[in-house]
């Protein structure tokens, strides 16, 4: 008996039918035109300011406006650095923004975690009170802060301004971080605690690494709020800790060279914000739309 067997004939399978062609959607032209118009309207003041501060003073405020035929100059920036205390004001602005951001995150992270993991009536009431405090008119909270800083002897210091901004921006930080914590499954808490972590150790070793995009998003927002804050800085500072927004406001209504210096200061104050928005846009969009885990 022979062990060799003939190969069995292959069964031909019918060729798969081609699926429906993907529909190529044309980009909405109307939406693109509308977005283009909005971008032009939004960027027009910034472009106009950039042109004004790079013109000679006698040309910058001419009527009708001069758009060509002049030699661009950076004299307004030179005068800003040499004839004013802009460097000190910029340093005060950065110090206040950094201090308020760090303190807001140090307080906001454990507070937001507790509010997300222990949803009781008290936590709901605290969240509502934080929202109400955030919605109050700024003058209603800044004027008492002025009296308190005077009484404590810390008026016109960067520390007082930073603490005031922490109090003002803390509700936003807690609400934002609390939403990110709520998206993290509680099973991770239980697994970490079964492995021997304490509540604080689990927050430090498990939650904070998962929350990195959310923490970065909250930190960027708080930094930008503090970096551009005007009213609180105007009320709580005088000369020693004046910030750039207050300096710009004091330059308005003065001579034309000082007005041009205010434009140069505004441009320098805007550039870091633009850079941060471009660099961190991934985290800002992902953090606000998808949450901390997906970011």
Please give the Cα distance from 117 to 211 (Å, whole number): 15
Cis check for the bond before 283: say yes or no (omega within 30 of 0). Answer: no
pLDDT the model gives residue 14:
62
| Cα 181 from Cα 137, distance rounded (Å) | 29
Give the model's pLDDT for residue 129: 87
In whole angstroms, how large is the CA radius of gyration of the chain?
A: 28
Structural domain count of the chain: 1
Is 160 part of any domain? Answer: yes
What is the pTM for the complete model shown? Answer: 0.79
pLDDT in tens, 23-78: 666 667 888 889 999 999 988 988 888 888 888 888 888 878 887 888 888 888 99
3-state secondary structure of 48: helix
Residue 211 inside a domain? The answer is: yes
Output the pLDDT for position 92.
93
Domain assignment present for residue 231? The answer is: yes
Q: So what's the pLDDT on residue 3?
A: 45
Q: What is the CATH number of the domain that holds 159?
A: 1.10.3720.10
30 within a domain of the structure (yes/no) = no
Task: Judge whether 188 lies within some domain.
Answer: yes
CB 177 within 8 A of CB 108: yes
**Domain range holding 206?**
90-242+281-290
Domain-embedded: residue 164: yes
Contacts of 156 (CB under 8 A, 6+ apart): 236, 237, 238, 239, 240, 241
Residue ranges, the chain, pLDDT below 50? 1-8, 291-295
152 within a domain of the structure (yes/no): yes
Q: What is the model's pLDDT at position 20?
A: 64
82 in any annotated domain: no
């Amino acid at each position: 008996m022979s062990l060799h067997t003939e190969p069995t004939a292959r069964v031909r399978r019918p060729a798969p039918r081609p699926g429906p062609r993907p529909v190529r959607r044309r980009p909405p032209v109307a939406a693109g035109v509308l977005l283009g118009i909005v971008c032009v309207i939004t960027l027009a003041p910034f472009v106009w300011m950039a042109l004004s501060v790079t013109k000679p003073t006698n040309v910058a405020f001419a009527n009708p406006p001069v758009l060509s035929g002049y030699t661009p100059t950076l004299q307004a920036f030179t005068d800003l650095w040499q004839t004013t205390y802009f460097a000190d004001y910029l340093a005060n602005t950065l110090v206040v923004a950094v201090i308020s951001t760090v303190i807001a995150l140090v307080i906001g992270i454990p507070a937001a975690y507790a509010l997300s993991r222990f949803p009781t009536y008290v936590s709901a009431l605290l969240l509502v009170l934080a929202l109400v405090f955030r919605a109050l008119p700024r003058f209603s909270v800044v004027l008492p802060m002025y009296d308190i800083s005077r009484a404590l002897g810390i008026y016109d210091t960067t520390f007082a301004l930073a603490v005031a901004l922490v109090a003002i921006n803390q509700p936003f930080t807690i609400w934002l971080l609390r939403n990110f914590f709520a998206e993290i499954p509680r099973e991770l808490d239980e697994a970490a605690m079964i492995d021997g972590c304490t509540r604080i150790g689990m927050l430090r070793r498990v939650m904070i690494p998962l929350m990195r995009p959310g923490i970065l998003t909250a930190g960027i927002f708080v930094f930008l709020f503090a970096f551009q804050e005007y009213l609180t800085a105007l009320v709580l500072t005088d000369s020693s800790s004046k910030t750039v927004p207050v300096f710009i406001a004091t330059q308005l209504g003065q001579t034309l060279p000082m007005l041009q210096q205010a434009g140069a200061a505004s441009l320098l104050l805007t550039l870091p914000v633009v850079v941060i928005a471009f660099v961190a846009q991934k985290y800002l969009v992902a953090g606000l739309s998808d949450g901390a885990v997906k970011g």
